[in-house]
């Protein structure tokens, strides 16, 4: 309790605790939903553990559009309750819960028919602003003329765009945010263990009393006792229910969302752009010196662990964006592609076990076993609360209400004051002020822990590679404090080099491995194996991207 560090020593202690102690709740799944659930439980004073078969946020929670938003398109479906709930969560994150990680981002909604569009879209965005309630962390929307649009976004076609409305949502590094939620739970006393794969449930008659798992690092089996098991498995939900011999009140289907990554010069605009398509919406999202453009929404039944984009996915994104852009985006502009899978919930008619909440579903298919699926990244906190609210019925005692609405994530405390001191911090530690701002927007007040590494070894103050802001200290910190256990963990999730750096960061793997090897206790063999594993994983992705750029 009180320490938020995730590292080899912490994991060893967690494995011992899992094997020897009984928990009130064990959460299966280290995505954002599991993160929300374990933090909710820990902050209520419950004895809780979280186990994840791979790395934190290794599935859908690292492959989103990286937006925290209310869901503007849901207004057309009259889902006002859902939009209000999501906007409330967005305001909380930007202002209180995670301001160091969740940042306002502006979007232009281009107008084509001046009077009709401005009236219809303007009314929708006015409602969007009103639904957030009295909290006002983000600016109100405003109407812009065609002349103003030409200044703000020269890439928008002046022949068809008659004006625009600018509104605000927020964006986040999804994998970093998920990991930070889990570190916050760790500070509240939660037991956290990655690379622990649950293969079956422990039962006492009909009641679930824990799980049997395998520590995939050592190969040892662990029996974990708990009064309630909460499964947050997302796209793996159906498979795990079947493995456990349970029949839930819902099923999960997968929808693939593909994004392309473009260099900054590909789109000339100083703000994001949102486009309405025939089936959904398309976002052009500024991301550092790059652009993320997406997404698609297509059925998927392939490999859950490694979803890949197709040529048709990429062409769809290009076609939709190019309807309003001049010059046009080309395949050769693309520097990265990633695909994620949404868990879409279909509820079983007449099920007595299921409680439906619009976008997500909680289910108690056996005494002592609760599962949750569906939902939006933005409403992770509400989902975590709902799952634990249902799970505590098996504890047979009074349990405090959720307090996560008032619990800032680690790094949030003191963040705004530290931003005002960025120049002073830069002078004190002899690093560039831009690097200080970069660190503050990734670690918040935990910047002190990163700076301690630099104090101990001045070489760690250097940038890892030219053109990207990451310092070498951040690579070490990923292993000492953030639970990274491999080169892939560092490149794909603790940083976003996997889609930000050329060739998915392959040129950096040797140095990254050398930086984390002492922390992880690697010898030459382990270091070589982790490098080889990442190279093998990326080679297929790089080949796939090359094929996408060649095919028309």
Q: What pLDDT, on the 0 to 100 scale, is given for residue 354?
A: 47
Phi, psi of 84 (to 5 degrees): -60, -45
Which among 155, 167, 400, 162 is positioned nearest to 264, based on CA atoms?
155
Kindly tell me if the per-residue pLDDT of 355 is higher than 60. Answer: no
Q: Evaluate whether 276 touches 287 at the Cβ level (below 8 Å).
A: no
Nearest-angstrom CA–CA distance, 379 and 510: 38
Nearest-angstrom CA–CA distance, 122 and 43: 41
Nearest-angstrom CA–CA distance, 150 and 32: 39
How many Cα neighbours within 13 Å face the side chain of 478?
Answer: 30
Token pair belonging to 392: 């505590």
pLDDT band at 543; cut points 50, 70, 90: confident
SS3 of residue 98 by DSSP: coil
pLDDT band at 336; cut points 50, 70, 90: confident
Which among 103, 43, 186 is positioned nearest to 482, based on CA atoms?
186
Nearest-angstrom CA–CA distance, 368 and 378: 28
Q: What is the mean pLDDT of residues 239-260?
A: 94
Q: What pLDDT, on the 0 to 100 scale, is given for residue 242?
A: 97
From-to residues of CATH 1.10.8 in the chain: 415-550
The matching CATH number, chosen from 2.60.40, 3.40.50, 1.10.8, 1.10.1240, for 415-550 is 1.10.8
Nearest-angstrom CA–CA distance, 527 and 501: 21
- Residue 200 Cα distances to 196, 216, 235, 241, 547, angstroms: 12, 15, 18, 10, 40
Q: What pLDDT, on the 0 to 100 scale, is given for residue 120?
A: 65
Residues 6 or more apart whose CB falls under 8 angstroms from that of 205 comprise none
Kindly tell me if the per-residue pLDDT of 546 is higher than 80. Answer: no
Peptide bond preceding 44 in cis form (omega within 30 of 0): no
pTM to 2 decimals?
0.95
Nearest-angstrom CA–CA distance, 467 and 70: 33
Q: What pLDDT, on the 0 to 100 scale, is given for residue 113?
A: 77
Kindly tell me if the per-residue pLDDT of 84 is higher than 80. Answer: yes
Kindly tell me if the per-residue pLDDT of 551 is higher than 70. Answer: no
Q: Evaluate whether 49 touches 191 at the Cβ level (below 8 Å).
A: yes
Residue 159 CB burial class (10 angstroms; 0-12, 13-18, ≥19): exposed
Q: What pLDDT, on the 0 to 100 scale, is given for residue 134?
A: 67
pLDDT band at 135; cut points 50, 70, 90: low
Q: Is the dihedral of CA 384, 201, 60, 48 positive or negative?
A: positive
Kindly tell me if the per-residue pLDDT of 31 is higher than 90. Answer: yes
Q: What pLDDT, on the 0 to 100 scale, is given for residue 353?
A: 45
pLDDT band at 129; cut points 50, 70, 90: confident
Kindly tell me if the per-residue pLDDT of 260 is higher than 80. Answer: yes
For 188-207, what is each residue's pLDDT tens digit? 999 999 999 999 999 999 99
Domain with residues 8-61+176-249+348-406, CATH architecture: 3-Layer(bba) Sandwich (3.50)
pLDDT band at 357; cut points 50, 70, 90: very low
- Residue 421 Cα distances to 197, 239, 371, 450, angstroms: 44, 50, 45, 16
Nearest-angstrom CA–CA distance, 32 and 174: 8
Lowest mean pLDDT among 5-14, 462-471, 535-544: 535-544
From-to residues of CATH 3.30.9.10 in the chain: 73-171+253-343
Q: What is the mean pLDDT of residues 67-94?
A: 86
Q: What is the mean pLDDT of residues 380-398?
A: 97
From-to residues of CATH 3.50.50.60 in the chain: 8-61+176-249+348-406
Token pair belonging to 24: 């009130």
Q: What pLDDT, on the 0 to 100 scale, is given for residue 127?
A: 82
- Residue 503 Cα distances to 65, 337, 440, angstroms: 21, 11, 27
What is the distance of C-alpha 442 from the center of its chain? 14
Residue with tokens 């281009």: 110
CB burial of 444-483 (b: ≥16 within 10 Å; e: otherwise) equals bbbbebbbebbeeeeebbeebbeebbbbbbbbbbbbbbbb
Q: What pLDDT, on the 0 to 100 scale, is given for residue 130?
A: 82
Fold classified for 73-171+253-343: D-Amino Acid Oxidase; Chain A, domain 2 (3.30.9)
Q: What is the DSSP letter of 402?
A: P
348 or 523, which is more confident: 523
């Amino acid at each position: 309790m009180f320490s938020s560090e995730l590292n080899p020593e912490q994991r060893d202690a967690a494995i011992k605790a899992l094997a020897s102690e009984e928990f009130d709740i064990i959460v299966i799944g280290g995505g954002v939903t599991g993160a929300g659930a374990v933090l909710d439980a820990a902050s209520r004073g419950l004895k809780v553990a979280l186990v994840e078969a791979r790395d934190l946020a290794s599935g859908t929670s690292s492959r989103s559009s990286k937006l925290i938003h209310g869901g503007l398109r849901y207004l057309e479906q009259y889902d006002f309750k859902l939009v209000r709930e999501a906007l409330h969560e967005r305001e909380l994150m930007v202002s209180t819960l995670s301001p160091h990680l969740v940042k306002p981002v502006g979007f232009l909604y281009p107008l084509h028919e001046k009077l009709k569009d401005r009236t219809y879209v303007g009314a929708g965005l006015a409602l969007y602003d009103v639904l957030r309630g009295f909290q006002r962390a983000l600016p109100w929307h405003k109407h812009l003329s065609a002349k103003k649009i030409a200044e703000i976004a020269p890439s928008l076609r002046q022949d068809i765009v008659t004006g625009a409305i600018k509104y605000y949502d927020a964006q986040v590094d999804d994998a970093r945010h998920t990991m930070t939620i889990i570190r916050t739970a760790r500070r509240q006393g939660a037991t956290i263990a990655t690379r622990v794969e649950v293969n079956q449930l422990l039962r006492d008659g009909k009641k679930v009393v824990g799980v049997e798992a395998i520590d995939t690092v050592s190969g040892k089996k662990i029996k974990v006792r708990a009064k309630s098991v909460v499964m947050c498995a997302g796209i793996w939900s159906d498979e795990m229910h079947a493995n456990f011999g349970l029949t839930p009140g819902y099923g999960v289907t997968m929808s693939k969302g593909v994004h392309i990554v473009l260099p900054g010069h590909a789109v000339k605009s100083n703000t994001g752009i949102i486009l309405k398509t025939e089936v959904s919406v398309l976002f052009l999202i500024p991301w550092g010196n790059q652009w993320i453009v997406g997404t698609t929404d297509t059925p998927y039944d392939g490999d859950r662990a490694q979803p890949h984009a197709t040529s048709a996915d990429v062409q769809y994104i290009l076609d939709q964006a190019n309807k309003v852009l001049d010059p046009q985006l080309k395949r050769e502009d693309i520097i990265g592609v990633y695909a994620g899978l949404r868990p879409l919930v279909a509820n079983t008619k007449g099920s007595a076990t299921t409680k439906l909440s619009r976008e997500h579903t909680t289910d108690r298919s056996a005494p002592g076993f609760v599962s949750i699926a569906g939902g939006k990244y933005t409403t992770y906190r509400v989902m975590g609360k709902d799952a634990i609210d249902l799970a505590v019925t098996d504890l047979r005692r009074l349990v405090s209400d959720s307090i996560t609405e008032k619990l800032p994530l680690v790094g949030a405390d003191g963040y705004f004051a530290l931003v005002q001191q960025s120049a002073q911090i830069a002078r004190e530690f002899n690093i560039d002020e831009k690097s200080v701002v970069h660190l503050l927007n990734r670690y918040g007040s935990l910047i002190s822990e990163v700076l301690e590494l630099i104090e101990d070894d001045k070489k760690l103050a250097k940038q890892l590679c030219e053109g990207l802001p990451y310092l070498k200290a951040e690579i070490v910190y990923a292993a000492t404090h953030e639970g990274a256990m491999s080169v892939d963990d560092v490149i794909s999730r603790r940083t976003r080099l996997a889609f930000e750096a050329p060739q998915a960061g392959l040129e950096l793997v040797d140095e990254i491995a050398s930086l984390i090897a002492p922390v992880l206790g690697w010898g030459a063999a382990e270091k070589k194996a982790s490098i080889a594993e990442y190279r093998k994983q990326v080679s297929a992705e790089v080949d796939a991207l090359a094929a996408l750029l060649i095919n028309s």
